[in-house]
Structure 1
């Protein structure tokens, strides 16, 4: 089976869980015999591309084809598109809910060797059609979404495939366009929705793209029942059309020694790791930290991540008088993420709306107990995690104190957690995806 996969994030260029999920899923699909051509934005820096073997670079304006050693049946088509909704990859984040509001339909950018994009007929009417593109990435997300769609259509004509698999909203127009031109079945993979990112203050343009993709697709994959309900209730997608495929987790390859980490005697560390945006609930973490510190002084809190609420969160901590007890570590990647987990005595995910939530699984694989929001997809499948409503800072603080003060509870959560997370594998996610592919092909045939 051959799959044309469309995405905008892949390690080492990551700003959230999507890149990690795409890697885990493609690796497992490859191991199960699926051939994948993955269309990705061209990396804008070369410092992290040493792991990539460039095979047959074509027209520099179109794409380069390369492979990664661990992914034997996966070819990557890197196109010149800047699809980074959280800012520069792995560096900083932008307010996702504001994307597209800064430049409306018809916005133009200076063109350097590239004219206006003609949006494919399949998505005409849902996206502005007269946006110009700057090949040096000096433009907005409107233009880059157009460009990605056009180049994906060009690439699709050069390759043979059975199924189209589009990850996240920025690739849905491309998926719809390729499906329209090729006649191949389309599955859109919903990793998050505009309601998760922006609450009730949604960006209408993004919502329309998401709705278009879900309704034009032959099948929709949601990462949890939590997300499936949003697809059905907020986007009007038939329940029977949406399948739930949970994410998995892979053991970390990093085996560091953290004895050099300095901390005061008996000091315990509570970790927040994620984008510092409204969706992730950083203000609830800070408020709970304040309550914990009123009862325990030997606790330090680490906030690892970046986002549009970064400065506000620092100011909030300072205003509460606990700034000296909270370390703002910024965006972490790779071995630094492992170090953060290894340092932590407890991981807390206070998300307001979390479609799935990979970080708790990663924490559990590092033998770290976790407290997670009830408003998350991962809460559906974890039994050995403490759960709390994101807004209940009193209960969140009580649970943090309980884990830190009671070694037996801490040990039980650690031992059972690592076993439970170890059973959640990407191989099962890939098996479910292959079942969906086969169902679409039977239906189409």
Structure 2
């Protein structure tokens, strides 16, 4: 790695160590060509949530700024990616097709992902209690780490290791031990978020604790997540840096009001995984309360997950089948149309490290209600912020937005203005600064 002194205009990101220097120009050192060995688990179009979207936004911005990125995945992408080198790291024992993700990155261990491991793994009934891999997901994470480490030997000309979430941490630790390069752990979600009421996987919590302890620096996607990491994992706050997610510019203008499905009906949308973390059960309670006050309302639950069938049966049991539409997972054009049509998006997450969907909705001029237990509330203060459990307050806020177009339009404009300060380029600048500090620390 070469450090080149240059003169440039003040950076977009504020660095306290530059305070007091010339306000127009400042002498800084930037990495001439940062080379990153980035360990991922999912990437669009084969993604089940925001992790893949965040990886795409960040890597595109880093590459646009001159970075060389090796990006590992446990499967092959269906098409090539031009801005980085994608390394498919499939273990030979896996039975899934080469272009199929082994498991969802977000599937809650303890629910449908805790399937008995195949007999080749020879686990005892006490495996989970012993803190060893006990589900297929956990075993495949361990096997993924083996293959990633082999790839790191092949592509060894990197400066820094960047790992996303717990699925990548075992691999990152092995690559760090092999290469003696600094490691950055990027936390998009923790087991304490996914299982917010406790009783999460001890194996995953231990994997998170070990991986975060091994990292030179930890990136949290919000101050909300930073506080959780400091409290639950005992991390030094000085070692945890907050980098909020960005958002991609729209490729085509939003079209609010143009789409006419559910004509003349107010539409309220939940968009996310059907897991306890995201609060879909609270949204269903909200639906039951809203229908009593506004019988013609349509509530759309867009997503899939381990609670999907339970919620479907619950809606039917409450005679909500004509008022609640389960659309399944939506992406691309379907996602855009639904957000354009929505009168309100509700994100009632129990514990939400960030919440990219709130930014997507704001970008498409849709008023947003978010849980106070979310990271996105830090960057989107114009959104209505409520406790996820406060159904009465949510009902009142939704009815108010539906009945007062002026209020809804004002909130939508305010949200849109707040997006101006968010970009993946800004996030990439902060991440590059963390790389630089990690490398300097090793000298």
Length-normalised TM-score, structure 2:
0.84
| Structure 2 residue 248 is the aligned partner of structure 1 residue 250 | yes
Given that 1:349 and 1:360 are in contact with CA atoms closer than 8 Å, whether structure 2 keeps it comes out as yes
Corresponding residue SS for 1:417: helix
Aligned to 1:17: 50
Partner of residue 156 from structure 1, selected from 149, 152, 155: 152
Residues 209-237 of structure 1, C-alpha deviations (whole Å, 9 max, x = no match): 00000001111111111111111111111
Going from structure 1 to structure 2, the CA distance change for 1:407 and 1:285 (only over 3 Å counts) comes to: same
Report matched runs for 1:70-219 at 5 Å. 71=83, 74-81=84-91, 94-98=107-111, 101-103=114-116, 108-109=119-120, 127=132, 140-159=136-155, 160-199=157-196, 200-219=198-217
Which consecutive unaligned segments of at least 5 residues does structure 2 have? 1-33, 124-129
Counterpart of 1:281?
A: 279
CA distance in 2, matches of 1:140, 1:202: 16
Q: Counterpart in 1 of 2:11? A: none
Q: CA deviation at 1:92?
A: 11
Q: 1:253-288: per-residue Cα shift (whole Å, max 9, x none)?
A: 3568785633233x1111100001100001111111
* Residues in 1 aligned to 2:131 and 2:103: alpha-carbon distance in whole angstroms: 30
Give CA-to-partner distance per residue, 1:53-82, whole Å, 9 cap, x none. Answer: xxxxxxxxxxxxxxx23x2xx111112157
Corresponding residue SS for 2:327? strand
1:232 and 1:311 mapped to 2: Cα distance?
A: 36
Shift of 1:93: 7.7
Structure 1 spans left out of the alignment, 5+ residues: 53-67, 117-124, 132-138
C-alpha separation in 1, matches of 2:200 and 2:95: 19
Find out whether 1:42 has 2:75 as its counterpart. Answer: yes
Cα displacement (A) at 1:421:
1.9
Residues 83 and 216 (structure 1 numbering): CA distance in 2 closer, same or farther, change over 3 Å? farther
Deviation at 1:98, TM superposition (A): 3.4
Provide the C-alpha distance between the structure 2 equivalents of 1:324 and 1:286, rounded to a whole number of angstroms.
13
SS at match of 1:402: helix
Aligned to 1:31: 64
Equivalent residue number for residue 223 of structure 2: 225
The question of whether the paired residues in 1 share the 8 Å contact of 2:42 and 2:52 is answered with yes
Give the secondary structure class of the aligned counterpart of 2:154: coil
313, 319, 322: which one aligns with 2:311? 313
Question: What is the alpha-carbon distance in structure 2 between the residues aligned to residue 416 and residue 247 of structure 1?
Answer: 19
Give the CA deviation at 1:301: 0.5
In 2, Cα distance between equivalents of 1:408 and 1:228 = 37
